[in-house]
């Protein structure tokens, strides 16, 4: 039996209010549990314990509305978060209405989509809120009926007593609003769940299939103008001058001017990444007119010299970063990464005596892996509505981290924080890109200048060539084997442009006596940002490909080899700070082995590859079956096993994993943005190859480890190991190892 | 600028626009039909798919001058409230993630089934290859098309 307190620092995190028409409104804090144990300082409490940010509304007619405060970009939180509330509230899911709450820092504390954290960080608070509201309804019924509360049952939004008395929640909601908020509350047993862990369709499904206007791109306002911008064609270039005469004279054009995104001397916050600070803007009545005028602009660009910039990182850490001048090339990038990868670098972890192990080795296996820059390519290009007047700013935007950009907007516009109003719109994809809200600042600056409502739209070309990419990465792995083919030493050196992908304390750290992890980075003027499972999305594939090759050299089955290492990490771990649970890691490998029929794989007509990884608090493993016939690779089947604790909505969760698998295969096969003289060589979907239906897996089977562990992340964890599983399957099909992404950049891999 | 009389979702609509304006922007900017989405502007992603006389057409490269006198259907005109079998199949398979590309996917799927009521897997893959889903919902899209074909 789980009993939880509803108070925090002597303050309740629940507050009940009577609705004017009769009924109750229970406010609560979604992020009650965001403060990790041991970090209960006053500041943390102020952030987590005071403000109310979620609401359950029950009208006297019995309509139940649950507000979902987190931004929605396809992870389907609008369904899964309210399901958790509804479970404890004991209402019929069919009668629950879900609404996207407005962004409001007065009310909300972490309105953010990112890091696969939304369910993990709200789980207990949502359950507590639902259970508390139910408790108050039960108390109201007990008073009304003069019976003990313990004798009252609830089901599907109806209260009942053995005497035959029944009442809908709506009938007693007004009375429940007068009941004091309980100090502690009993939560349901996991085995009694009726809504959580059952498949529920996307609450926005009907709006999506009928094409309802849900995205910022669809937003319109009376008198709204359309704005588009032109940024430098290459990284390392900036605006020198422009001639707007021709564009200004074109039909429907209101104005052409340049803007400065951030002002001189502004110290950027973590998510203030901005590639091009000076932009030329065209504003007009309609999109097509603006597009035509944009083509008529005459702009001169000039190179930017090497400069330094203070950059903020997570946790408030500041660093002076040198941004080199010059026009960069992909071929130069690859050469520099190979050179850097061959040197000694900053040691991130050392266990035992790796140098001696390598000196004594009977055989050393060394392999290098690399991957190019990737563009996020959200289907809805960056865009934002803004209406900035002298005393307030109103924005509607697709944004993952509104709380971050709100501060930036206030600073840039010279308005107090409470005069910045951001309305969250459903996002046409995010993948990390929309954590960086510079397009919202641009929209606001344009609107402020014109004193008019505007919608800024990036063309696909503007979007793809703007930057904030997944970095380019490189990793070299070395393994030392003794004469009996035992693994006696392990060494990884990883780096990238401009950051390292290394996670030094992850598997196989902790499983090998002599272990060395080093990292390096090469500065660049190409901007980078979070991309679905940052860093993991490269290092997992490299590591899991290397382990596969190692298993083969040692004459072991690749799953058995990993399980042996995990057994060592579990029973007799090496070193400190191993940040994974070897038991749960082994669990997904065992599940995928069983479900894929791995043992029968030797007789299979398909080539099979396996990989597993841990990131964002969850464990994922995939077995990929593919064929290579007449030069054509076909992914026949993917079997996936996940351990992310309790699954809230199995239907949405499976969809998420299937999407991650497809996304991973697409990026592994084709993904890549190449540069020539600072200019991206791809800027639209006719040159940047995306996975399409014919290349997608013919079947994807998703399995979840069943346990009662509170839920952890799922948006990111299934993505990184796909790169390893597909590389290992390609090897089995073709006899050639794939070391450099994109694996199918040309057809050489297939004979 | 010129006046164009268009037949959209069974109704006659008049617009006064530059003759080169793609139907995508006529629908979105001038006729308040934003269900048809902008994705690439070069007919490479399928997000803007509409029907021109029942056939799938990328509206981002179809000038309004070429659309006059023809029957145009957009996602808003596919059914009154989403009761078209393809829309129903999309709901049954819970296809969407972010949802941005799905109107275009549905319009392509309906056009496919209009011309080929019982498509093979290869037929589906070939026809739908013009529609990108960045979230990777292809397996569900394919399953939904098969379900709809069974109606």
Report the alpha-carbon angle A213-A122-A64, nearest 5: 55
- Cβ distance A238 to A232 under 8 Å? yes
End-to-end CA distance of chain B: 45
What rounded mean pLDDT belongs to chain A?
92
CATH number at residue B55: 3.10.20.30
Query: How much helix, strand and coil, in percent to the nearest 5, is found in chain B?
Result: 40, 20, 40
**Residues A189 and A275 both lie in one domain:** no
The beta strand positions in A6-162, using DSSP E, are: 7-8, 11-12, 14-18, 23-28, 54-59, 64-68, 96-100, 153-155, 158-160
CA distance A377 to chain B (A): 7
The pLDDT value given to residue A750: 41
* Amino acid A29: pLDDT: 66
Please count the structural domains in chain A: 3
Same domain (yes/no): A496, A632: yes
pLDDT of the residue at A49: 36
Based on the domain organization, do A629 and A730 belong to the same domain? yes
A627-643 pLDDT, tens digit per residue, is 999 889 999 999 999 99
Contact A241, A197 (CB under 8 A): no
Asked if residue B71 and residue B18 are part of one domain, the reply reads: yes
CA distance A541 to A537: 7
Answer whether residue A516 shows pLDDT above 50.
yes
A708-747 confidence digits (pLDDT tens) = 999 999 999 999 999 999 999 999 999 999 999 999 986 4
The pLDDT value recorded for residue A48 is: 37
| Partners of residue B137 in chain A, C-beta under 8 Å | 655, 658-659, 662
Give the tens place of pLDDT for each residue, A379-436: 999 999 999 999 999 999 998 888 889 999 999 999 999 899 998 899 999 999 999 9
- The pLDDT tens digits of the residues spanning A229-275 come to 999 999 999 999 999 999 999 999 999 999 999 999 898 888 999 99
Residues B72 and B89 both lie in one domain: no
At A50 the pLDDT is: 38
Q: How many CB atoms lie within 10 A of CB A632?
A: 11
What is the percent of chain A where pLDDT is above 90?
Answer: 78
Per-residue pLDDT for A210 more than 70?
yes
Mean pLDDT of the B63-91 span: 97
pLDDT reading at A521 higher than 80: yes
Mutation target to probe the A interface, by most A beta carbons within 10 A, among B16, B21, B51, B94 is: B94
Domain-located, residue A211: no
Residue-wise pLDDT for A584-612, tens only, equals 999 999 999 999 999 887 677 899 999 99
User: Looking at the structure, do residues B114 and B56 belong to the same domain, yes or no?
Assistant: no
Per-residue model confidence (pLDDT) at position A39 = 39
Asked if the structure places residue A201 within a domain, the reply is no
Q: For the segment A164-191, what is each residue's pLDDT rounded down to a tens digit?
A: 999 999 999 999 999 998 988 999 999 9
Residues B20 and B63 placed together within one structural domain of the fold? yes
Q: Are residues A120 and A245 in the same domain?
A: no
Min mean pLDDT across A92-106, A460-474, A532-546 is at: A92-106
Q: Whole-angstrom Cα distance, residue A184 to residue A693? A: 51
DSSP state of A32: T
The CATH number covering residue B130 comes to: 1.10.150.120
Average pLDDT over residues B26-47: 98
Q: Is the pLDDT of residue A40 over 70?
A: no
**C-alpha dihedral (B87, B88, B90, B92), degrees to nearest 10:** 170
pLDDT at A68: 75
Mean pLDDT of A130-156: 96
pLDDT of residue A53: 57
Residue among A621, A749, A727, A736 nearest A371 (CA)? A727
Do A714 and A618 form a contact (C-beta atoms < 8 A)?
A: yes
Which residues neighbour B126 within 8 Å (Cβ) at sequence distance 6 or greater?
A: A694
Residue B151 confidence (pLDDT): 64
**Is the Cβ pair B40, A460 closer than 8 Å?**
yes
Kindly report the length of chain B: 151
A366 and A453 in a single domain? The answer is: no
Domains in chain B: how many in total?
2
Structural domain harbouring B71: 2-77
- Distance, in Å, from the CA atom of A396 to the CA atom of A453, rounded to the nearest integer, reads 11
Q: Which residues in B lie closer than 8 A to residue A662 (C-beta atoms)?
A: 136-139
Which tops the pLDDT comparison, A13 or A586? A586
Among A457, A491, A508, residue at a domain's last position: A457
Query: What element of type H or E holds A256?
Result: strand A253-260
CA distance A551 to A559: 9
B90-132 confidence digits (pLDDT tens): 999 999 999 999 999 999 999 999 999 999 999 999 999 999 9
Name the residue with tokens 């998703």.
Answer: A702
Residues B68, B12 share a domain:
yes
Local confidence band at A41 (pLDDT 50, 70, 90 cut-offs): very low
Cβ atoms A379, B132 nearer than 8 A: yes
Residue predicted with more confidence, A270 or B58: B58
Mean pLDDT to the nearest integer, B65-85: 97
Pairing of strands A166-168, A54-59: unpaired
Which candidate from A218, A379, A694 shows the least CB-CB separation from B34?
A218
Contacts (Cβ under 8 Å, ≥6 apart) of A465: A231, A233, A679, A680, A683
> φ and ψ at B149, to 5 degrees?
-65, -25
The rounded radius of gyration (Å) of the Cα atoms in chain B is 15
Same structural domain, B127 and B70: no
Looking at B77, B101, B131, the residue that finishes a domain is B77
Name the closest residue on chain A to residue B45, using Cα atoms.
A685
Tokens 């037929």 sit at which residue? Answer: B123
Give Cβ neighbours of residue A16 (< 8 Å, ≥ 6 apart). Answer: A24, A25, A26, A27, A136, A176, A177, A179, A181
A6 or A657: which carries more pLDDT confidence? A657
Inter-chain contact B139–A211, Cβ cutoff 8 Å?
Answer: no
ipTM value, please give it: 0.98
Q: How confident is the model at residue A56 (pLDDT cuts 50, 70, 90)?
A: confident
With an 8 Å Cβ cutoff, is A403 touching chain B? no
**Mean pLDDT confidence for A289-316:** 92
Contacts B101 to A, Cβ<8 Å: 379, 428
Helices (H) and strands (E) in chain A, counts: 17, 34
Shared domain for B107 and B73, answered yes or no, is: no
- Angle between helix axes B102-115 and B85-92 (nearest 10 degrees) is 130
Q: Which of A74-78, A480-484, B11-15 has the lowest mean pLDDT?
A: A74-78
| Same domain for B59 and B118 | no
Q: What is the CATH number of the domain that holds A169?
A: 3.30.365.10
Is B12 found in the same domain as B64? yes
- Examine the pLDDT at A206 and tell me if it is beyond 60: yes
Shared domain check, A479 and A414: no
Q: Are residues A16 and A94 in the same domain?
A: yes
Write down the pLDDT at residue A105: 56
Do residue B45 and residue A379 have CB atoms under 8 angstroms apart? yes
Q: Which residues of A touch B38 (CB under 8 A)?
A: 217, 287, 381, 457
> Based on the domain organization, do A396 and A480 belong to the same domain?
no
Chain B hits for A659, Cβ within 8 Å: 97, 135-137
Chains A, B: CB contacts within 8 A come to: 193
Claim to verify: residue A521 and residue A484 sit in the same structural domain: yes
Given a cut of 50, whether residue A46 has pLDDT beyond it is: no
Question: How many CB atoms are closer than 10 A to CB A14?
Answer: 25
- DSSP, res A102: P
**Confidence (pLDDT) at A310:** 86
Of B57, B77, B97, which residue is a domain's last?
A: B77
Q: CB distance A697–B139 less than 8 Å?
A: yes
A600/A514 same-domain check: yes
Last residue of a domain, one of A395, A430, A457: A457
Domain-located, residue A207: no
Q: Which domain holds residue A729?
A: 344-374+469-749
% of chain A exceeding 70 in pLDDT = 92
Residues B51 and B103 in one domain: no
Mean pLDDT, rounded, for B50-79: 97
- A81 against A675, higher pLDDT: A675
Domain boundary among B77, B103, B129: B77
Mutate to test the interface with A, among B124, B132, B134 (most CBs of A within 10 A): B134
* DSSP 8-class letter at A735: S
Unique residue bearing structure tokens 């029942």: B54
CA A462: distance to chain centroid?
23
Helices (H) and strands (E) in chain B, counts: 6, 5
Percent of chain B with pLDDT over 90: 99
CB contact under 8 A, B97 and A201: no
Closest by CA position to A600, among listed A554, A639, A552? A639
Mean pLDDT to the nearest integer, A159-167: 97
Local confidence band at B19 (pLDDT 50, 70, 90 cut-offs): very high
pLDDT of the residue at A43: 38
Distance CA(B22)–CA(A250), nearest Å, equals 18
CA distance B133 to chain A (A): 7
Note the pLDDT of residue A311: 82
Check whether residue A574 and residue A427 sit in a common domain: no
End-of-domain residue from the set A457, A478, A510: A457
Indicate whether A317 belongs to any domain: no
Q: What is the pLDDT of residue A34?
A: 41
Q: Which residues contact A588 (CB under 8 A, 6 or more apart)?
A: A612, A619, A620, A621, A641, A642, A643, A705
Q: Is residue A336 part of a domain?
A: no
Same-domain pairing of A514 and A402: no
């Amino acid at each position: 039996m789980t009993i939880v307190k509803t108070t925090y620092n002597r303050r309740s995190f629940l507050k009940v209010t009577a609705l004017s028409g009769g009924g109750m409104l229970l406010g609560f804090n979604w992020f009650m549990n965001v403060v990790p144990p041991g970090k209960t300082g006053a500041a943390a409490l102020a952030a987590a314990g005071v403000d109310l940010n979620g609401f359950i509304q029950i009208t006297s007619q019995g309509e139940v509305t649950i507000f979902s405060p987190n931004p929605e970009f396809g992870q389907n939180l609008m369904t899964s978060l309210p399901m958790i509330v509804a479970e404890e509230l004991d209402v019929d899911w069919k009668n629950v209405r879900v609404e996207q709450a407005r962004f409001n820092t007065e009310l909300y504390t972490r309105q953010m989509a990112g890091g696969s954290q939304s369910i993990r960080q709200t789980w207990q608070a949502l359950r507590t809120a639902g259970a508390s509201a139910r408790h108050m309804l039960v108390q109201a019924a007990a008073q009304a009926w003069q019976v003990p509360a313990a004798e009252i049952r609830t089901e599907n939004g109806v209260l009942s007593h053995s005497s035959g008395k029944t009442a809908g929640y709506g009938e007693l909601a007004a009375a429940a609003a007068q009941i004091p908020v309980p100090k502690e509350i009993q939560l349901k047993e996991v085995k009694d769940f009726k809504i959580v862990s059952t498949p529920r369709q996307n609450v926005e499904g009907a709006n999506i299939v009928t094409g309802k206007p849900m995205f910022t791109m669809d937003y319109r306002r009376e008198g709204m103008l359309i704005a588009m911008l032109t940024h430098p064609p290459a990284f390392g270039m900036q605006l020198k001058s422009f001639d707007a005469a021709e564009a200004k004279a074109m039909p429907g054009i209101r104005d052409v001017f340049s803007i400065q995104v951030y002002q001189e001397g502004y110290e950027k916050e973590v998510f203030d990444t901005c590639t091009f600070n000076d932009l030329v803007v065209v504003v007009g009545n309609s999109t097509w007119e603006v597009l035509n005028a944009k083509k008529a602009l005459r702009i001169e660009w000039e190179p930017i010299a090497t400069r330094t910039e203070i950059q903020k990182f997570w946790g408030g850490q500041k660093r002076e970063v040198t941004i080199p001048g010059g026009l960069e090339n992909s071929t130069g990038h690859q050469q520099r990464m190979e050179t850097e990868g061959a040197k000694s670098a900053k040691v991130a972890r050392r266990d035992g005596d790796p140098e001696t192990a390598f000196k004594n080795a009977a055989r050393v296996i060394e392999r290098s892996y690399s991957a190019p820059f990737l563009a996020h390519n959200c289907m809805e290009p960056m865009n934002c509505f803004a209406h900035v007047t002298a005393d307030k700013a109103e924005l509607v935007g697709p944004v993952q981290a509104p709380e971050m950009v709100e501060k930036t907007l206030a600073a840039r516009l010279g308005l107090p924080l409470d005069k910045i109003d951001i309305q969250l719109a459903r996002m046409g994809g995010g993948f990390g890109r929309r954590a960086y809200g510079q397009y919202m600042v641009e929209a606001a600056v344009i609107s402020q200048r014109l004193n008019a409502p505007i919608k800024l739209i990036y063309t696909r070309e503007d979007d793809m060539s703007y930057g904030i990419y997944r970095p380019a990465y490189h990793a070299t792995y070395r393994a030392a084997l003794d004469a009996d083919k035992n693994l006696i030493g392990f060494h990884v050196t990883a780096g990238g442009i401009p950051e390292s992908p290394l996670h030094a304390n992850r598997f196989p750290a902790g499983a090998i006596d002599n272990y060395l992890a080093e990292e390096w980075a090469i500065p660049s003027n190409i901007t980078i940002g979070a991309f679905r499972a940052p860093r993991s999305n490269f290092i997992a594939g490299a590591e899991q490909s290397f382990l596969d090759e190692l298993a083969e050299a040692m004459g072991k089955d690749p799953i058995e080899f990993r399980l042996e290492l995990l057994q060592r990490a579990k029973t007799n771990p090496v070193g400190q700070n191993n940040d994974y649970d070897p038991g749960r890691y082994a669990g997904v490998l065992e599940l995928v082995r069983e479900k894929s029929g791995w043992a029968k794989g030797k007789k299979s007509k398909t080539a099979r590859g396996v990989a597993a990884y841990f990131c964002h608090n969850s464990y994922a493993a995939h077995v990929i079956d593919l064929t290579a016939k007449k030069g054509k690779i076909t992914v026949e089947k993917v079997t996936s096993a996940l351990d992310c604790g309790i699954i809230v909505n199995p239907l949405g969760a499976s969809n998420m994993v299937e999407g991650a698998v497809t996304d991973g295969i697409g990026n592994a096969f084709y993904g890549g943005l190449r540069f020539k003289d600072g200019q991206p060589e791809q800027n639209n979907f006719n040159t940047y190859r995306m996975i399409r239906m014919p290349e997608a897996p013919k079947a994807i089977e998703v399995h979840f480890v069943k346990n009662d562990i509170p839920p952890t992340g799922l948006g990111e964890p299934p993505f990184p190991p796909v790169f390893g599983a597909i590389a290992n399957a390609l090897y089995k099909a073709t006899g050639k190892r794939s070391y450099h992404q994109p694996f199918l950049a040309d057809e050489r891999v297939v004979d | 600028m010129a006046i164009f009389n268009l037949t959209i979702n069974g109704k006659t609509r008049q617009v006064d626009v530059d003759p080169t304006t793609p139907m995508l922007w006529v629908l979105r900017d001038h006729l308040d039909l934003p269900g048809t989405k902008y994705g690439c502007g070069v007919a490479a992603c399928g997000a803007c798919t509409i029907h021109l006389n029942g056939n799938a057409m990328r509206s981002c490269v179809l000038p309004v001058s070429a659309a006059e006198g023809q029957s145009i259907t957009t996602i808003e005109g596919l059914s009154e409230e989403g009761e078209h079998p393809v829309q129903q199949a999309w709901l049954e398979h819970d296809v969407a993630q972010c949802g941005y590309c799905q109107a275009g996917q549905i319009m392509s799927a309906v056009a496919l089934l209009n011309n080929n009521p019982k498509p093979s897997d290869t037929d589906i893959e070939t026809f739908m290859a013009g529609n990108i889903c960045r979230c990777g919902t292809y397996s569900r899209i394919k399953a939904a098309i098969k379900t709809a074909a069974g109606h």
